């Protein structure tokens, strides 16, 4: 059975991506990052999702001893409904305060190390259209550049044992992702999107806003 490493954040995008990878016939090995984010809710959610999906998961604990992101530094204000560009639109991008310097590059590097170590053929990540209007490391050109890093910077690449980064959601908006997730049987009720870590989602941060809008547009009730 072909193996894949799946980046799992606890949010709905990565959960849908995991179920997509499973549907494609991959035996999935989930990587969850504890990188000093504002709260542990999403880490716990990710662990539960992996368990329900009957997949192995590993938590990678890293500490970035520098600031520069609202996700790492509680003194920086979280963005609230600041309406980035519509999904898929190309144009000058505005990078939100939740950008963590080189975060996806760090996550992908660990995934790549794991993939090489276990002989996995693919790395799945839930980057998507709505994000790439804001986050540079969610854009297709970044993934193309990273593919070249894999092919010439790893043992697997040199030995022509291809490892591919798969971004099945890259061209989808939130509503489309939610529909896909439901079709694949993703336990969306277990996912956590809110940037804050209160007992219930705050309902006003960017992440809550896009989630609510997505469910509304998809005509599906959010059971979380």
Q: Is 139 in the site for a copy of itself (CB under 8 A)?
A: yes
Among 137, 188, 195, 205, binds a copy of itself (CB under 8 A): 137
Supply 142's token pair: 């970044």
Closer of 152 and 198 to a copy of itself (Cβ): 152
Among 39, 136, 164, 217, binds a copy of itself (CB under 8 A): 136
Residues 54-93 that bind a copy of itself (CB under 8 A): 58, 60-68, 93
Among 48, 110, 212, 224, binds a copy of itself (CB under 8 A): 110
CA distance 73 to 56: 31
Closer of 18 and 108 to a copy of itself (Cβ): 108
Q: Is 116 in the site for a copy of itself (CB under 8 A)?
A: yes
What length is written for the chain? 224
Among 75, 77, 155, 200, binds a copy of itself (CB under 8 A): 155
The structure tokens 């959601």 sit at 169
Q: 18 with 54: CB under 8 angstroms?
A: no
Q: Which helix (H) or strand (E) holds 131?
A: helix 129-132
3-state secondary structure of 142: helix
Q: Is 38 in the site for a copy of itself (CB under 8 A)?
A: no
Site stretch for a copy of itself (CB under 8 A), options 137-145, 176-184, 188-196, 212-220: 137-145
Residues 164-223 that bind a copy of itself (CB under 8 A): none
Q: Is 224 in the site for a copy of itself (CB under 8 A)?
A: no
Site stretch for a copy of itself (CB under 8 A), options 18-26, 82-90, 144-152, 201-209: 144-152
Q: Which helix (H) or strand (E) holds 60?
A: strand 56-61
The structure tokens 């599906």 sit at 220
According to DSSP, residue 27 is labeled E
Q: E strands within 158-204?
A: 164-166
CA distance 156 to 152: 9
Q: Is 146 in the site for a copy of itself (CB under 8 A)?
A: yes
Name every residue whose Cβ is closer than 8 Å to that of residue 10 and which is 6 or more positions away in sequence.
32, 41, 42, 43, 44, 45, 46, 49, 191, 192
Binding site for a copy of itself (CB under 8 A): 58, 60-68, 93, 95, 99-106, 108-110, 112-114, 116-118, 136-137, 139, 141-142, 145-146, 148-149, 151-155, 157-159
């Amino acid at each position: 059975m072909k193996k894949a490493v799946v980046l799992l954040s606890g949010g709905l995008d990565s959960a849908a991506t995991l179920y997509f990878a499973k549907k494609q016939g991959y035996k999935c090995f989930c990587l969850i990052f504890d990188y000093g984010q504002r709260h542990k809710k999403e880490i716990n959610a990710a662990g539960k999702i992996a368990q329900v999906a009957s997949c192995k998961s590993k938590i990678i604990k890293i500490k970035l001893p520098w600031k520069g992101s609202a996700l790492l530094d509680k003194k920086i204000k979280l963005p609230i409904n600041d309406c980035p560009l519509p999904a898929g639109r190309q144009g000058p991008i505005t990078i939100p305060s939740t950008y963590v310097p080189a975060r996806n590059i760090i996550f992908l590097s660990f995934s790549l190390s794991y993939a090489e170590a276990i002989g996995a053929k693919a790395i799945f990540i839930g980057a998507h259209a709505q994000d790439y209007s804001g986050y540079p490391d969610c854009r297709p050109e970044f993934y193309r550049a990273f593919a070249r890093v894999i092919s010439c910077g790893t043992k697997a690449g040199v030995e022509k044992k291809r490892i591919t980064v798969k971004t099945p959601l890259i061209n989808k908006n939130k509503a489309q992702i939610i529909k896909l997730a439901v079709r694949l049987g993703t336990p969306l009720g277990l996912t956590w999107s809110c940037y804050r870590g209160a007992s219930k989602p705050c309902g006003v941060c960017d992440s809550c806003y896009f989630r609510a809008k997505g469910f509304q547009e998809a005509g599906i009730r959010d059971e979380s």
